Structure 1
Amino acid sequence: MEKSILHAVEVPWQISPSHDFIEFIGEESEVKTKFLINYNAKIREREIKHLCRQYGNEEKIPDEIWNRVGNAIIEINFAQVHFFSKTVSQQEYGLLDSEKFDLSQIAYLDDDLWNETNICPDPSFYEVINSNLKSRLGIDSLSVRHWLILGHDVFFDILAPSFNWEVV
């Protein structure tokens, strides 16, 4: 069996590896998921500078605000969903089965590259290029794409043409 190839989605954030998804809503052919995400050091520093101007210095920034620096909650929306599944990982280490997925295309998290490009090298959000799931379900439309989102100990498979995301 050919392994599925993962391609990192180009976004400026990484789904927090230490938190699970916050919420998921599935209605008809629409799916919405919420995750805690982390931004790169460059964005965190910009947030700290902004807060220092607002509060005077770092020591005066309230703890409840300081604890959210560099983080946000995002909602990822998929419309025209053909398939959705949430799976709890059966792997002892890591979420993805290396027998099913070719993990060689996933870049290591390189903070310098992330800061330079503002694109996270490993956001825990991927497009599955040669989807075995699509073929198993008999979906051969080129407009339907296979998306994979990794949470802390669950992953989501979504077959849909596209997605959008926003900070909530």
Structure 2
Amino acid sequence: MSAFKGTLIAAELPWMISPSVSDLRIKVVENGDAVVSAEVAVLPEKNPESAGLENKRVLITFKGGQWVSTEPAFADRETIPPELFEECPQVEFDGGKDYLIRFRRKWCSSGLCPDPRVYEVHNSVWSKEKNAARFGCRHYVVEGHDMWLQVIAKGFDWKLDGPSSAEFIDPTRLPVL
């Protein structure tokens, strides 16, 4: 693949891929779909503005996702190499003191996560190289904690698939040494 320099556009989703749990899983079926399973954070139904986020599992089905690429994280604080894509214009990360408060308010008011860590790539060089538009395909990026992946597919849908599979460690129940 060449340098991409397409623009990342955040998908409109009510959840975000967990930035702290390393658990992206992908399955590609020949002549079928690519299915990504991931830990996500969702707003709780009760007190969404003040309660902690809830962890769930999501299945994202990329229809006809036959072009798939995975990469390890670029760096500790940047999963996707910054030179590959133009920054997502809707994600306003200014690092300000009240950034997380503004992020949460925006999420609560619209019901859509401001940065779900799932993007469509506009003006994708990779999609053009593969001539994927002839099949009605688009380029998507999913950003995990320790890896990221790209899929060229006809579209995607998703469903929450139960509770998180990440184990909760109760420090009061650890063995005493």
| Structure-2 residue corresponding to 1:98 | 82
**Count, aligned residues:** 148
Cα distance in 1 between the residues matched to 2:116 and 2:105:
15
Pairs within 5 Å for 1:43-54: 43=45, 45=47
Q: TM-score with structure 1 length normalisation?
A: 0.77
- Deviation for aligned residue 1:121: 0.6
CA apart distance, 1:23: 2.7
Helix, strand or coil at the partner of 1:115: helix
Of 105-114 and 73-82, the range deviating more from structure 2: 105-114
Deviation per CA, 1:61-120, whole angstroms, max 9, x where unpaired?
xxxxxx9x6121011011212301111123353012222211151413611110000000
Letter in 2 for 1:127: E
- What is the TM-score when the length of structure 2 is the normalising length? 0.74
CA drift of 1:147 comes to 0.6
Root-mean-square deviation (CA, aligned residues, Å) is 2.5
Q: Is the 8 A contact 1:148 1:158 kept in 2?
A: yes
Taking only the aligned residue pairs, the percentage that are identical comes to 24
Q: 1:115 aligns with which of 108, 114, 127?
A: 108
Structure 2 unaligned spans of 5+: 93-99, 162-177
- Structure with greater helix percent: 1
Unaligned runs of 5+ in 1: 50-66
1:35 aligns to 2:38 (yes or no): yes
Q: Stretches of 4+ moved more than 6 A in 1? A: none
Query: Where in structure 2 are the equivalents of 1:16-165 lying within 5 Å?
Result: 16-28=18-30, 29-40=32-43, 43=45, 45=47, 70-108=54-92, 110-141=103-134, 143-165=136-158
